[in-house]
Copies of this chain bind each other. A is one copy, B any other.
């Protein structure tokens, strides 16, 4: 790792991380380049040196998130190999939200909510992220089914989508209410539902 490489890369990452945090906190629309520049302690020029536009930065923030998910480097672990892991997947998100005192929702949901017809690129980035997450969840259900642990009615993809949607809705409600209660009960209901596909008899 050469010094030269680091010099630029550091600034770029600082911008990405500051932006990711601000986007999570208040959405991309409410976050101005100036605010990101200040938070990342850079100059205006650097912003546009590393990113071709604010939209380009959002894109790269999402790429970074996606990369972390794929590499298993994100705060929430998306590698689900047991029911315990699945519970932890839900739980980690609730805990993350709580750590922000329920003032934030899911970083992806927050950005996804803002997309309009003019943000097609961003929409696709988000769609891809959710696709990857869904696949990770679905893979677990597929494996469980193969093991005979799930009933015939259980559709792995449908269940994966249900996990994501209920988590998204729960976090959104948590943010609006500034309370973790609904989030927690909703997650419990979701888990209860998922367990209903579980074949106890076979054990």
A residues adjacent to B (C-beta < 8 A): 25-27, 29-30, 103, 105, 109-110, 112-117, 123, 126-127, 130, 155, 158-159, 161-162, 164-170, 172-173, 175-178, 182-183, 185-186, 188-190, 192-193, 196
Q: Smallest Cβ distance from A139 to chain B, in angstroms? A: 17
Chain B residues with Cβ below 8 Å from A172 are 109, 112-113, 165, 168-169, 172
Determine the distance from Cα of A196 to Cα of B182 in the docked complex, in whole angstroms: 20
23 inter-chain pairs at a CB distance below 8 angstroms, sorted by A residue, are: A29-B114, A103-B116, A103-B117, A109-B113, A112-B172, A112-B175, A113-B113, A126-B176, A127-B177, A127-B178, A130-B176, A155-B185, A162-B185, A162-B186, A164-B169, A165-B173, A165-B183, A165-B186, A166-B190, A168-B173, A192-B193, A193-B193, A193-B196
Task: State whether A176 and B115 are in contact (beta carbons under 8 Å apart), knowing that A165-B169, A166-B186 are contacts in the complex.
Answer: yes
Best-surrounded residue of A112, A164, A176 (most CB of chain B within 10 A): A176
- A117 nearest in chain B by CB position: B103
* Copies per assembly: 4
Asked whether B176 lies within 8 Å of A123 as measured between CB atoms, the reply is: yes
- A187 nearest in chain B by CB position: B165
Chain B residues with Cβ below 8 Å from A193 are 189-190, 192-193, 196
Q: Smallest Cβ distance from A4 to chain B, in angstroms? A: 13
- A182 nearest in chain B by CB position: B161
Asked whether B165 lies within 8 Å of A170 as measured between CB atoms, the reply is: yes
Chain B residues with Cβ below 8 Å from A165 are 166, 169-170, 172-173, 182-183, 186
Q: Smallest Cβ distance from A203 to chain B, in angstroms? A: 20
Determine the distance from Cα of A185 to Cα of B185 in the docked complex, in whole angstroms: 21
Asked whether B185 lies within 8 Å of A161 as measured between CB atoms, the reply is: yes
Q: Which 10 A-B pairs have the closest CB atoms?
A: A169-B169, A113-B113, A165-B169, A168-B169, A193-B193, A112-B176, A162-B189, A165-B186, A158-B185, A26-B116
- A181 nearest in chain B by CB position: B161
